[in-house]
Every structure is written in structure tokens, then in C-alpha cells.
Amino acid sequence: MTVRGDFREPARPRPELVIGREELFAGAREQLSGGGSVLVHGPAGIGKSSVLRALAAECAESAQTVLRCSATESESHLPFLALADLLGLVVDEIADRLPAPQRTALESALTGRGESTLQRDGLALRLAVLSAFRALAARGPVLIVADDLQWLDPASAELLGFAARRLGGTPVRMLCAVRTETEPQAQDHDRYLRASVPETLALRVAPLARAQVAELLAQRGYTGLPRSTVRDIHRTSGGNPLFALELGRALAESPTRPSPGEPLPVPTSLRALVLSRLDLLSAEARRTLLVASAGARPTLALLHAAGRENAEAETASAAALGLLATERDAPGIRFAHPLVSAALYAEADAQERRAAHSALSRAASDPIERARHLALSTTGTDPAVAARLGEAAAAARDRGAPSVAVGLGLLAARHTPAGTRPGPDERRLQAAEDALTAGETDLARDIARQVLARATAPADRVRAWMVVIDAAGQAMAEIDAVFPQALADAGDDPGLVARVRYQLGWRALLMDGEMTKAREEAARAARLAARAGDRRTELLALGFQAQMETLMGHPDAPSTIQRAMREPQDPRVACDHNGAGAARFRWLIMGDRLAEARTAITALLREVQRRGMVESELHFLRGLAETELRSGHCGRALDLARESLRLARDTGIGEAAAAMLTSLAEAAGGDVDRALSLAHEAVDRAEEDGDMVYLSRTLGALGHAQLVAGDAAAAVRSLRRVRELEEALGVIDPARGRWHGDLAEALVRIGETAEAQDVIDVTRRRALRLERESVLAVLDRAEALVRAARGEQGPAERQLASAQDRLGKLGYGLEEARAAYVLAGLRAFPQASSGSARTAGTALPGPTSYDEAARLFRRCRALPWLRQVEAASALPPAAPPLAPAALDTLAATERQVAALVMEGATNREIAGRLFISVKTVEATLTRVYRKLGIRSRVDIVRLAAERRPD
């Protein structure tokens, strides 16, 4: 495709156009910083020039000389033009360093004086360009920046290639961009690579993902676009940023936006990219391509069935013009770029489109496709067409394609006459509910708002309010005024009131943080729904009630789950993320039944993926990731968590929850800095949404990441907030967030052992009542640290060994490895005395090295923890302890710090060995100096040497 000059490109710098290029930039920077060269390539409009400008701006700072050229198609016939751009301003500076014949030839080529040609002065010109680059390089590093190599005039391209191939070993870097075909497998750039500096790195600029297109549009000011529209922009643009921006601009300038299923307005600037080539096709071939553009999956067989008798020859001629992609042995017909199809369809008039759809309504074999084409070929209302579309929408729903059902449902509403059953609003509301299922929450909300603007029937209005509330997700504060309106519309109808009360339960939880009230509202909704015979709402309410009771540690939780799982069941509620199956999974995982939990969540995930239930899929991906994380399968958990985060960002659903879970997975098996970043993001989102429930969860993830990162003081601040929030929420079950052991451990590290013991004691009482064995084992691990800080070395080691064994038997691989790590740290530390720390004559089991911890962390693929083990095991072996006479005045922690100082350990190393903060080490040393009457670390070593017996 040829990009025309009528795009509206502002002159200001546009850093947003390098969105989604992080990996490409990292590779380019590494290559350029090492003195290498880079060739950026990709199709028109993909952002090559933007990438080139950004990289050139970075590299220019380290170059003595920067030479630039940017060719255009209209000037590519002018010989030596690019060479003049590169060397015209510097030739005078180095002319006296060139031999006379070379200087003459070069000046003639650059100025146009004389009749210099490659044929006549070829060798002299080639050598002159090479000598010029070498002369410039002798003064300092040279950076050559060349854009649009495909438009270089042949003479300049030949000379530049000749010099580049011979510049190896000189401080000359080339940063170039060239347009190549759309297909990734095309190797068009090879010939440019062969004409570049040796070992040039070729980097393809790939299309943007949908989330990146959304970010690009938002940064450019095209905000407020529904996600379904952004999805259409991404599909039509093929991820090309320039095309996406042009489509976004056309939508912004359009007085009316297309309805779901309708084509996007394609601006003239984009149509011109392809329509000029259509003029070379016959009228019949163009009609054939229009039918192909209207079809969902066009094939030659489909075109024949639609009456296009010469489809083979007509598509072959289109492929020769580059309008269709040629794929050997492929049955389908594929346009070279989605924009070709969109522009072709947009250019056709309404009658031509209806004719194409009419032909396809008879030719398509799939009943859903036939119904869609029938609707698009029909004008006005038609009950028969509406009925067929309603059936097609139901079929799409059953196939797990709710987004398809949305479009069909809206088409059905358009063709449904007023006064029929189901009516237009009922069909629209069904489409809105399908949109919720598909994860298109903004589209669902817009449809519901349209219904509310004209509907008077209480059932339709309440149903629409429920869509508005569900579309808000965790951000219920934004639609708080909806609830009294919904209750007013429900009147005294028990079925309608039940639906509103169910949502009021969620409001009580998310906005007020009142689990008891949420449980009461859920129970009330279940009773009302049962009285009204609304089994679906009854099941949802019971599932919600069971979740609240599970989190509260309420004894009725198992019986409520059983009630929610009794027949009759609604198949969609059974696998819904708010249904009984999800409540049972939460009950299983909190009860340490990891294998059963994995089986349950895997089945739920498989079913919602089959049905296309996007929000439920997100929940269950996180649930499976959490199960794998608890089981110590950190690599698998990280993959699942990242998948859930990608889906959350793509749909805008549950981003705080996905970021929180991914933070936990990153802290366990990925990158700690990324874990911290994601946890901060999750906390910010939860606070912005006013979501008290997820705020405590996100702060728990933040505290955990801070602990893994070695910032115990920050972890304490975060986890203390979690403790306060959960007490206010009424969360009793410590298996819900499992932050208690982390808080106790962090408190020990900063020297707050009394508070750590209080956390342990309070949590242990609750865990004992609820029989949370894994929580009890983790508390024992934390309590062992408290004991060790008090100098009770032997009991601490025995408690740790027991905790490790129990966690291993329960299947908590990562927690088992953490216990082994703490145990190894205690055993590696020298004992100050045998009387107070251990029971005389008691042999302690197990090795005294970090090998076991390293083995367990390696089995879990817990990379951040494994790095900690490797750092700890690399420390020097323990030195002999200080003499008992000198230790008498020191507390246990002070003796430990002093002994490590003797080894030569730094304050940070001491903090890591003793699980305390650096500030605590510094404060402890100050007390040691005061008690021993010394001034520095050197005095500790000297004092120990003086008092050590011969």
C-alpha cells in the first residue's frame, strides 16, 4: 500500500506512537549501545518512522556526527538526492582528506555540476563515499539515520550499500527503516540487510494488540469509545497505529456512531489506499469482492453458491493486484489487509450491500450466517425475520459465542414490530445480557440505558437496572443512585425485589464493607426469589450467601453451599463466578483441599470458556492460578495469572483483582519489581473504586511483595492496614488472605516481637476453631522466628522442622520451601551458648546448609526465593562466637548481630541472615557499642580477639 500525504499529522512529537514497542526498543538499544546497526522494517503506517525518530534521538547524544536522509516516492527518480541529504552539509569539512579524483567525483554528484554518473565515475564515487564516512569516523562516532529506504534513488542506494559493506570495524552505526510486505514471513528486508553494515540487526515492527490500540486512541484524545468499537477499530486496522488513528478520527468526526454489527466509517484517506487499485478490476470482479467482504468466512464455494460464476478468475486478478492474500492449499479467501475489505464495503452503496447480503442469505450453509445476511438484506420490521434472528442468537449463545448473539439480538430488535412478544425491548435486554457475558460491559450498559429511556414495564426496567449494576463491576460507587430507582420500579413484586436485594447485598459488601449485612441481603433475596419461583436469582443469592459465610468463618457455610447445589439447577448459574460452584471452590481451597479445588476450578473454567462467559473465565483463571500457587507450582501459576491480566486489560473487567493475583505470582515465580508495581496498581484501583473488599486483598499482595523484596518495614505498614480492614469487614477466616504469617515475620524483622506474637496468638485461635491446618503450620513458622529472636534456638528449629513437614504433607510446596529456608538460616548461625538456647543433649535433625531450601524452591520454580537462598549460601562461614564474658551484657539479638559483624558481614547481609531490617541492625549495633563501651565494628572484632582463649 502507498501511504498518501493527506493524513492529518501534527508537527509535535508523538511518543504515544511507540506504545507497545518495549521489546523492540530493548533489542535495538542493546544492539546500538554495543556499536551495532539496526534495520527496522514493517508495512506502511505501522510506526517505523516513529520508532526510528525515538531511537535516533537517544543515540544522537553519543555520536559526534549524525547524518540523516528521508526519501520519498515522488523524488526517488532524482539521482544522488539521498547522498546529498547525508553528506551535503559535511562534505566541506572532510573534502581535503579525500584524494583529488574522489573529491571531484563526489562534489560533482552532490552539486549536480558536471555530468557525474555511476557508469562514468563509478569506482571513484564508491571510494569517495567510503572515504568520507571513514574520515568522519576518525573524528568520532558516526550515526547514519535513513528512513524509507525503499524510496532511495538507485544511485544513492548503490553507493550507500557499497560503503556500508566495508565499514566493519569503524565507529559507524546505521539506523534505517524500510517498508516491507504485511506478511511476517515475507523476507523483503533481506536485500536491504545485505546492503547494510555487517551484522546489522533486523527488527520487525509488529501490529499493536487491542489494549495497545485502546491506549493509543485514548492518548490521542479519542476517549469514550466503547470497547466493542475499539475492538472493531483494532480488527479493521489490523493493529496498524496510523490506520487505527484515522479510524478513530473518522468516528470522532461522525455525527452518529455505527451500531454493533455495522461497519465502521472508513475515511477517504484510508479508502484511497486501496480503491485506486479497484479501478483496474472489472465491474463483475468488484462485485465478487464485495460479496467476499460481506461474508464472515468467504470461500470460492460460497462465492459460487452466491452466484459469482467466475470467482476463480476474478479473485486471481484481485490477488495479482495485491488486494487478496495468496495462500496455497487454503480454502478461504483472505484480504491482504482487513482495511481492504472495510474500504470496499464502505464504498458500496446501500443497494449494492443489500444485494450482496441477499445472495449470501441463500448461499451460506450456517443458519446463524443465513439469518444475519437475511436481516442485512431486509428493510423495515418483519416478524418472521425477527424470529429467525432470535433463534440464531440463541444458537450463537449455545455455541459459546455471546458477542455474535449480541449483534443478532440487536438486529432482531430492529426488525421486531411493536406490540409483539417478545418485544423490541426484551430482545435488546437479552442482547445486553449477552454483552455482559461476552465481557462488553460498556456496550451492555449503553443498551440498557437506551431501554430505560423509553420502557415503562416494571419487569423491563428492573432487568435493565440489573444490567447497569452488573456493568459497573467493582465500581458500584459510580452508580449508587441506581438502587433506589430500581427498588421503586420493582414495587412489591417479590421476583423483581429479589433481584434488587441481591444487588444490594453486593453493594453492602463492596461499598460499605459489611459482610454481615451482605449475607442478610443475600438470604433475603433467596427467600423472595424462592417465593416468586425465580430459581436463577435464588441460586445466585444462595451462592453469594455461601461466599459470605465462608469468608466470615460462619458455621452455616457448608449447608448453604449444599442448598445452592440442589436440583433444579440453572446451567449458566452453575458455572457462574457468583454461583454455588465458585462458592464451593472457595470453601475447598480455604479448607486445604487443594486437589479437589483444582479439579473443581478446572471444570468450571472449561465450561465458561465453552460458553464464552468472559467475566467468569477471568475469575476462574485467577482461581486456578491461586490453586497452583498454593501448591507450589509457581511457573504454572505465573502463566495463568499473566493470562488473566491480559484478558482483564483487554476487557476492562476485574483489573485490580488480576493485578493483585499476578503480583502474588510474580513475587513467587517471576520478578519482584514487577510484583511491587502490580500490587501498587491494584491498591490504587481498589481505592479508586471504593472497593473495601479488594482493598484488603490488594494490600495483602503489596505487603507480601514488600516482604519478598526485603523491605520489612513497608510490609508491616501494608499488612497492618489489612489487619484493620479485615477486622472492620468481619473477615474471621485467616485462610481468606493468608497474610498473617507474613505480617508476623515482617514484625520480627523490625524487632517488634511482641506484636508478632499477638498476631500469631489471635490468628491461631481462629485457625484452630476452623481447622485451617496450613495456616497453623505457617503460624508455627513465624513463631519459630519469634523464638529465635528471643534466643530459644533449639525450640525454634524443632518448630520449624515440624512446620516444614506438615506443609509438605498438605501439598503447600512454596510454604514448605520457605520453612526450609528459615530453618537453614537459623542452623547456619552460630550459637552463643548451649545452655539457654538448646536443651542439653538434644540432637537437632537435618542438614545445616541451604541445599534443602534451594532444592525445594527449584522444584517450585520460585525464582525470587531461589535467588535469596543463593545469596545467603554465598556468605562466608560463621566465625567463632564472642567470648561468654563479653556476651553477658548483650541480649540474644545483640549477640547474633555482634557475631555476624565478626564475620565481616555488612548490615544488609546481617539483616538478610536474621530476617530483620537494616534499620534494626543499625539500632542494635548502637546498643552493642554502648553496652560494650566501644565505638565501631572494628572494636567488636578487636574485643573478641582479645578475649578469645588461646
What pLDDT does 875 receive?
A: 59
How many other C-beta atoms lie within 10 A of the C-beta of residue 769?
A: 12
DSSP-derived pairing of the beta strands 172-179 and 334-335: unpaired
Q: What is the DSSP string of 606-657?
A: HHHHHHT-HHHHHHHHHHHHHHHHHTT-HHHHHHHHHHHHHHHHHHTSSHHH
Is the C-alpha dihedral spanning 429, 430, 433, 434 positive or negative?
negative
Hey, what's the cell of 427? 430482545
Nearest to 731 by CA among 762, 686, 709, 702: 762
Distance CA 782, CA 772 (A): 16
Cβ 340 vs Cβ 274: under 8 Å: yes
Hey, what's the cell of 537? 436469582
Cα-based distances in Å from 894 to 319, 691, 704: 81, 44, 27
Question: What residue ranges in 731-825 does DSSP mark as E strands?
Answer: none
Cβ 915 vs Cβ 902: under 8 Å: no
Residues of the chain with pLDDT under 50: 1-17, 186, 830-848, 878-884, 948-950
Cβ 406 vs Cβ 435: under 8 Å: yes
How many other C-beta atoms lie within 10 A of the C-beta of residue 908?
A: 12
How many other C-beta atoms lie within 10 A of the C-beta of residue 797?
A: 23
Is the C-alpha dihedral spanning 329, 331, 335, 338 positive or negative?
negative
Residue 332 bridge partners (DSSP): 299
- Secondary structure class of 231 (helix, strand, coil): helix
What pLDDT does 829 receive?
A: 57
Distance CA 308, CA 942 (A): 98
What pLDDT does 839 receive?
A: 33
Distance CA 619, CA 616 (A): 5
DSSP letter assigned to residue 876: P
Torsions phi, psi for 668 (to 5 deg): -90, -40
Q: How much is the pTM?
A: 0.78
- Secondary structure class of 335 (helix, strand, coil): strand
What pLDDT does 542 receive?
A: 96
Query: What HEC string does 798-809 produce?
Result: HHHHHHHHHHHH
Element containing residue 204 per DSSP (H, E)? strand 201-204
Cα end-to-end distance, the chain, whole Å: 88
Hey, what's the cell of 277? 487499485
Residue 145 bridge partners (DSSP): 68, 175
What pLDDT does 363 receive?
A: 94
Distance CA 267, CA 905 (A): 68
Residue 172 bridge partners (DSSP): 142
Site of grid cell 524510496: 151
What pLDDT does 339 receive?
A: 87
What pLDDT does 5 receive?
A: 36
What pLDDT does 551 receive?
A: 85
What pLDDT does 183 receive?
A: 53
CA atoms within 13 A on the CB side of 790: 16
What pLDDT does 154 receive?
A: 87
Distance CA 731, CA 736 (A): 8
Q: What is the chain's Cα-based Rg?
A: 35
DSSP letter assigned to residue 333: -
Torsions phi, psi for 612 (to 5 deg): 75, 30
Distance CA 552, CA 555 (A): 9
Distance CA 715, CA 752 (A): 13
CA atoms within 13 A on the CB side of 75: 14
Distance CA 717, CA 755 (A): 13
Residues 394, 398, 399, 403: what is their CA dihedral angle, to the nearest 10 degrees?
Answer: 60
Cβ 611 vs Cβ 634: under 8 Å: no
Reply yes or no: is the peptide bond before residue 422 cis, omega within 30 of 0.
Answer: yes
Hey, what's the cell of 484? 433506589
Distance CA 106, CA 125 (A): 6
DSSP letter assigned to residue 365: S
Element containing residue 453 per DSSP (H, E)? none
Q: What distance lies between CA 749 and its chain's CA centroid?
A: 33
What pLDDT does 1 receive?
A: 36
Cα-based distances in Å from 635 to 16, 594, 662, 671, 676: 33, 17, 12, 12, 18
Q: What is the DSSP string of 107-129?
A: HHHHH--S---HHHHHHHHHHHH
CA angle 224, 225, 229 (to 5 degrees): 170
What pLDDT does 899 receive?
A: 80
How many other C-beta atoms lie within 10 A of the C-beta of residue 677?
A: 15
What pLDDT does 895 receive?
A: 79
Hey, what's the cell of 141? 562516532
What pLDDT does 664 receive?
A: 98
